[in-house]
Amino acid sequence: MEILQLPLVCALIISSLTSATVVQDFNHVERCKDSLYMGTPPRGFVDTKLKKICQRYADKPRYVTLYDPSKRIPVYSAYTFKKTEGDRRVDYPWMYEPQLAELDGNGNMLPFPTGYLHMKFEDSQAVLDDYSDVVLYERGHLNPDQHQSSPHDRAATYTLTNVVPEIREFNIGPWREYEERIRVRLNNFCRGTAYIVTGVTTRGNMIRRNNQNRVAIPEDVWSAYCCTEYDRNAPHDVRVLFPSHAALAKNAKEGNSIHEMTVLELEMFLRNNIEVDTNLQIFYDNCVSPSPLPLYLQHTI
């Protein structure tokens, strides 16, 4: 019987756990659309060069990402919020997506190797070297690990197809505080499934490496959630933040405070600042909440 070398065995084990698939439509992979409210992705993104990634881990779809290979960052990641204590884990390996570069790839999302590797996939996505010598920026998750609870769900967020360059002061300050605020809000008042979409706008600024433009630097970071089953006995100042709400902030060292707003207000901003058409809609039917009351009483909610 042939004895496999240990590194190969490890690689086989890792590749069986970590996989992501570039798809034509999020519905093409079973259960991939479970990350989306009503199984429907945000509407109105018209750039045909964008890639739809079903982020899989341990043979289970975890969330979805719309990815821009030319800018080497995600446009957005969409995921379901999992109730959690909010502790952060940083011991997961960073991964990349071979299928962005190879049409015949086997779908595995793989950890970056520790040794030298000819990065033939660098043209289509960011790699660790893009972030290694950049002191101003952090790798900012769009689907953050503290919004996930199981080790597998958390590990799946550590792919460079789910991160953007965020100014350090913004990443560890206002945006982290906002992610924690939403974690507590949804933990305490969302009674069903909460769906979150987090994305960015860009203005052409890039991280450069070897005199080449490599990774787009976001101008703004935005996020929106939808939870139609929520605590209707919550205080009024909380109830007005359901079933949906949104936020927007500058990815900057100063002037980076978080502005919470309605999803419709966020969509109005995005229509003027990213490549979308007038039909832009983040959540199907604007996350309209089914009312538990008869029509003549609904105005009392």
Domain assignment of residue 294, yes or no: no
Average of pLDDT values for 237-241?
Answer: 97
CATH number, position 142:
3.40.570.10
Q: How far is the C-alpha of 269 from the C-alpha of 267, rounded, in Å?
A: 5
Q: Per-residue pLDDT tens for 145-155?
A: 999 999 999 99
Is the four-CA dihedral 287, 71, 61, 131 of positive or negative sign?
A: negative
Q: Per-residue pLDDT tens for 203-224?
A: 999 999 989 999 999 999 999 9
Q: Per-residue pLDDT tens for 121-157?
A: 787 889 888 998 888 999 999 999 999 999 999 999 9
Q: How many domains does the chain have?
A: 1
Domain assignment of residue 301, yes or no: no
C-beta separation of 157 from 145 below 8 A: yes
Domain assignment of residue 132, yes or no: yes
Residue 51 pLDDT level (bands cut at 50, 70, 90): very high
Q: Per-residue pLDDT tens for 26-39?
A: 776 667 899 999 99
Q: Per-residue pLDDT tens for 65-106?
A: 999 999 999 999 999 999 988 776 667 888 887 777 665 454
Q: Taking 70 as the threshold, does the pLDDT of residue 246 lie above it?
A: yes
Domain assignment of residue 14, yes or no: no
Helix (H, G, I), strand (E, B) or coil at 246: strand
Q: State the residue for tokens 């206002």.
A: 174
Q: State the residue for tokens 């996020």.
A: 223
Domain assignment of residue 3, yes or no: no
Residue 119 pLDDT level (bands cut at 50, 70, 90): low
Domain assignment of residue 8, yes or no: no
Domain assignment of residue 4, yes or no: no
Q: How far is the C-alpha of 207 from the C-alpha of 194, rounded, in Å?
A: 34
Q: Give Cα separations from 293 to 86, 226, 231, 296, 300 (angstroms).
A: 34, 20, 14, 8, 9
Percentage, residues of the chain above pLDDT 70: 80
Q: What is the pLDDT of residue 291?
A: 58
Domain assignment of residue 292, yes or no: no
Model confidence, pTM = 0.87
Domain hosting residue 88, numbered range: 20-27+35-286
